[in-house]
């Protein structure tokens, strides 16, 4: 089953009939007291099970350890553990399909997850830079528009007002965004019937993945201070500061470096 998108317009959707390679994003937040057990589970169990089961469809299986962000940078729905991206040439059918269930983790992480086209749908600034010209600290954000805000209005403000202001500001030096694949795309895999992730621990109704790149947290702080000069959306609540979204509910974020911590589709090392 190939996932296809069609259409045109401000969102950069692909042409009619052209297949879109999808990217799955899974951001994790855990009780860090269990970090050793969770790392062992991911390396020794979870990643190999994903690779073995989905190898024919999964082109990349990359995972990033978030940067240990300072307190003020954690105020925007910060997720403290692995941010994993899977790049899928096609999506396998859901369900057991001849496989066993995944090994249950030592603790259930709090997860923000969604599917996106593998290439950003909207590129705002910085694409002309060469690797090595700047250091890269990526503010990696899953976002959704507030309840009751018409999506068409939100998208129009984001692309026609906010994106232009970001490009003109000079910081971040790189900015781009991807509109989520809104058709239902079940994340393939099966948990045991006796152990499913708690419903409240998984958020999957995100609408955009946006990356803003800085060279340092000092540069990020200067940008956030400058956020007061940016035009807020018409629905912004009184007293709200940039980015005008409720942490955890309307924005989930991490800070990442350029290089994945692990490339599980290529890495054959054992955990021990």
Average pLDDT rounded to a whole number, residues 141-154: 97
Structure tokens at 178: 């991807």
| Nearest to 80, CA basis, from 254, 232, 234 | 254
Backbone phi and psi for residue 45, each to the nearest 5 degrees, phi listed first: -120, -60
Residue 13 has pLDDT above 60, yes or no: no
Percent of the chain predicted with pLDDT > 70: 91
The model's confidence at residue 272, banded by pLDDT at 50, 70 and 90, is low
Residue 182 has pLDDT above 90, yes or no: no
Look over the chain and give the mean of its residue pLDDT values, rounded to a whole number.
90
Average pLDDT rounded to a whole number, residues 27-53: 96
Residue 1 has pLDDT above 90, yes or no: no
Average pLDDT rounded to a whole number, residues 178-183: 91
Quote the DSSP letter at residue 39.
Answer: H
The model's confidence at residue 271, banded by pLDDT at 50, 70 and 90, is low
- Cα separation, 68 vs 32, whole angstroms: 12
Residue 2 has pLDDT above 70, yes or no: no
52's enclosing H/E stretch is helix 47-54
pLDDT single digits (tens) 192-241:
989 999 989 999 999 999 999 999 999 999 999 999 899 999 999 888 89
Where is pLDDT greater, at 29 or 193?
29
Structure tokens at 21: 């390679």
Average pLDDT rounded to a whole number, residues 32-54: 95
Q: Where are the domains of the chain?
A: 22-263
Residue 167 has pLDDT above 70, yes or no: yes
Whether residue 65 contacts residue 272, with contact meaning beta carbons closer than 8 Å, is answered with no
Q: What's the predicted TM-score (pTM) here? A: 0.91
45's enclosing H/E stretch is none
pLDDT reported for residue 30? 98
Residue 172 has pLDDT above 70, yes or no: yes
pLDDT reported for residue 19? 55
């Amino acid at each position: 089953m190939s996932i296809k998108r069609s259409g045109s317009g401000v969102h950069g959707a692909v042409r009619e009939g052209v297949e879109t390679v999808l990217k799955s994003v899974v951001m994790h937040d855990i009780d860090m007291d269990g970090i050793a057990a969770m790392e062992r589970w991911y390396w020794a169990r979870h990643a190999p099970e994903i690779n073995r089961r989905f190898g024919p469809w999964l082109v990349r299986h990359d995972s990033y350890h978030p940067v240990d962000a300072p307190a003020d940078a954690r105020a925007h729905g910060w997720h403290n553990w692995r941010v994993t991206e899977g790049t899928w040439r096609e999506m396998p059918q859901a369900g057991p399909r001849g496989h066993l269930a995944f090994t249950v983790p030592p603790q259930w992480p709090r997860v923000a997850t969604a599917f996106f086209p593998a290439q950003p749908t909207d590129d705002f600034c910085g694409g002309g830079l060469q690797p090595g010209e700047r250091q890269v600290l990526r503010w990696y954000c899953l976002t959704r528009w507030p309840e009751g805000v018409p999506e068409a209005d939100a998208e129009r403000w984001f692309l026609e007002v906010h994106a232009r202001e970001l490009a003109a500001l000079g910081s971040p030096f790189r900015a781009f965004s991807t509109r989520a694949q809104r058709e239902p795309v079940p994340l393939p895999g099966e948990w045991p019937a006796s152990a499913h992730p708690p419903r409240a621990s998984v958020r999957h109704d995100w609408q955009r993945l946006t990356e803003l790149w800085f060279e340092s947290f000092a540069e990020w702080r200067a940008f956030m201070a400058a956020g007061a000069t940016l035009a807020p959306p018409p629905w912004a609540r009184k007293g709200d500061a940039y980015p005008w979204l409720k942490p955890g509910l309307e924005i989930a974020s991490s800070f990442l470096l350029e290089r994945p911590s692990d490339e599980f589709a290529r890495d054959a090392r054992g955990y021990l």
